[in-house]
Amino acid sequence: MSAIKIRIARALKAFGLHPRSELEELREQSRRDLAWLKKRNDQLQRRNDQLLAARKRLEKRVAQLQRGDAQPGRTRGEDGGETSAD
């Protein structure tokens, strides 16, 4: 490395800035962090969708029970048939 580049790197470091190689490392870490965050966001979004669907089913079930349309202790199975709710 030339003397000028070394001086520049030292000056940058003195001001809290990073030399190019450290910046590349920081960029790569940022890319990895962003990828992880996107993946985690997708997981949480799917879980949120599942919970919203379950909430909607429960609210529908409560409404049926309050109206007296359904038998207590019974719920609709996913295939449309009735199953017992334990």
- pLDDT for 32: 96
Q: What is the per-residue pLDDT for 79?
A: 54
pLDDT mean values, one per 10 residues, the chain (86 residues): 79 74 86 97 98 97 87 60 53
Is 85 within 8 Å of 73 (Cβ atoms)? Answer: yes
Backbone angles phi, psi at 23, to 5 degrees: -65, -40
* CB-count burial class (<10 Å; 0-12, 13-18, 19+) for 70: middle
**Whether the predicted model's global pTM rises above the 0.75 cut:** no
DSSP state of 80: S
Helix (H) / strand (E) element for 76: namely: strand 74-76
